[in-house]
Amino acid sequence: MRRRRAVVAAGFCASFLLGSVLNVLFAPGSEPPRPGQSPGPSAAPGPSRRGGRGELARQIRARYEEVQRYSRGGPGPGAGRPERRRLMDLAPGGPGLQRPRPPRARPLPDGAPGWPPAPGPGSPGPGPRLGCAALRNVSGAQYVGSGYTKAVYRVRLPGGAAVALKAVDFSGHDLGSCVREFGARRGCYRLAAHKLLKEMVLLERLRHPNVLQLYGYCYQDSEDIPDTLTTITELGAPVEMIQLLQTSWEDRFRICLSLGRLLHHLAHSPLGSVTLLDFRPRQFVLVDGELKVTDLDDARVEETPCSGSADCILEFPARNFTLPCSAQGWCEAMNEKRNLYNAYRFFFTYLLPHSAPPSLRPLLDSIVNATGELTWGVDETLAQLEKVLHLYRSGQYLQNSTAGSRAEYQRLPDSTVPQEDYRCWPSYHHGSCLLSVFNLAEAVDICESHAQCRAFVVTNQTTWTGRQLVFFKTGWSHVVPDPSKTTYVRASG
């Protein structure tokens, strides 16, 4: 399997070097037909089955119209009248970022629209948006994974930056099942590719520190499919829950706080309240310790219409909730509540309370219980998470938990103890006891609470909250000079 993935990755890079196509990239690029203009015949030959080309065209049009709505709806970045031009035409920087060949109109399945309008021209970060030119000399391509529709690769750009490339998976379930049903490979590719474009539009419209950054896109021809699209995004690490359970509470709390901030943004986004229909850890990545949503092709903005509360049942595997139906005929806050309960069952219940500072546990338990019962909305949930952050960062949580020192400790400046480690949980280092502290008094309390602790070494390293990292030791028989550390040893007696 590794050899197969390595071969695929090598071919992936080579195709850019030759100016040709990646076998896993997606999205045709013809302009939407002018009013009154016929879209043309089917894009690919083949037998039609179970509804034929008309049904395929209907599904493509539905996805096209969805992307149209997200492209121009709301007052957010990039809003306004949609541009009828290609994504690459929007990239600032002139001809160097254009497609290597002029765009060509492509015939579509009967009744299907052309390629939807692109996201707005604003770049999510500083500098020009990346295009095909940035991918001509990529290196170190690695297969990351694939889902129902897309495949993801990791590559390194000529300047050394690592990015993720997303493309329609030609051997994936989404494209394969469509081809089996309709027998139209190009039309089915377009149907799958609209999910990628929807994700591009949402990444652009929902820009936020906890939404993955969209860096750019590139059109290439691939096999028998013209104008396939690759998206270039920020690279993150997969969320592995088993590994997260072994990390420090401070890092786990950061993930929950990131999620709370993301859900607050989605509930009040420029497009309206956005819900993630596919809400699982695999839809998120970690970037420098921050949780970011990466998969948005199954996001939905529209609230659920209703004529009564019986139409507003929020169903989950373990339990259901009945929400009120508003006077305007919409289920009240259903999108927001769906996100919040999924955050509870996939993240909060596992990551928030365990090994937390004792004085913070009542507040953390309240957050877990309130989100599990949906008695709070995202606004109150985020307010309580921010309160926990304030108590923890300011050291106020120590006022009722930190007692006076029971032993004297001698300070040895510019020194460290390289060995004499022991393990504790949770620790920032698996082979030793490395914890964060607010101040020296907390370090003394921790050492006093560990039966094997006889010394500790304060480093000049800090965590994301500004707390210092400290090694706790079983003794100090071998002290060596180190200008970046200070050792404290328990006085005899």
Which phi and psi (to 5°) does residue 263 adopt? -65, -35
Separation CA 433–CA 428 (nearest Å):
7
**Burial (Cβ within 10 Å: 0-12, 13-18, ≥19) of residue 484:** exposed
Integer Rg of the chain from CA: 27
Structure tokens, 135: 């991918």
Q: Map residue 38 onto helix, strand or coil.
A: coil
Other Cβ atoms within 10 Å of 424 Cβ, number: 16
Sign, CA torsion 426/431/436/437? positive
CA distances 68 to 59, 193, 219, 241, Å, are 14, 14, 20, 36
SS (H, E, C) 435-474: EEECCHHHHHHHHHHCCCCCEEEEEEEECCCCCEEEEEEC
Structural element, H or E, at residue 88: none
Separation CA 66–CA 85 (nearest Å):
18
How crowded is the C-beta side of 442, counted as CA atoms within 13 Å? 21
Separation CA 470–CA 467 (nearest Å):
10
Q: Map residue 230 onto helix, strand or coil.
A: strand
Separation CA 196–CA 59 (nearest Å):
15
Angle between helices 334-343 and 249-267 in degrees, nearest 10: 170
* 8-state DSSP, 245: T
Find all residues with CB under 8 Å of 153, minimum gap 6, and list them: 9, 12, 24, 141, 142, 143, 144, 164, 165, 167
Separation CA 92–CA 122 (nearest Å):
9
Separation CA 200–CA 270 (nearest Å):
16
Find all residues with CB under 8 Å of 231, minimum gap 6, and list them: 165, 166, 167, 196, 199, 200, 214, 216, 217
Q: Which of 89, 278, 311, 482 is catalytic?
A: 278
Q: How many residues does the chain have?
A: 493
Find all residues with CB under 8 Å of 280, minimum gap 6, and list them: 346
Active site residue 278: yes
Catalytic residues: 278
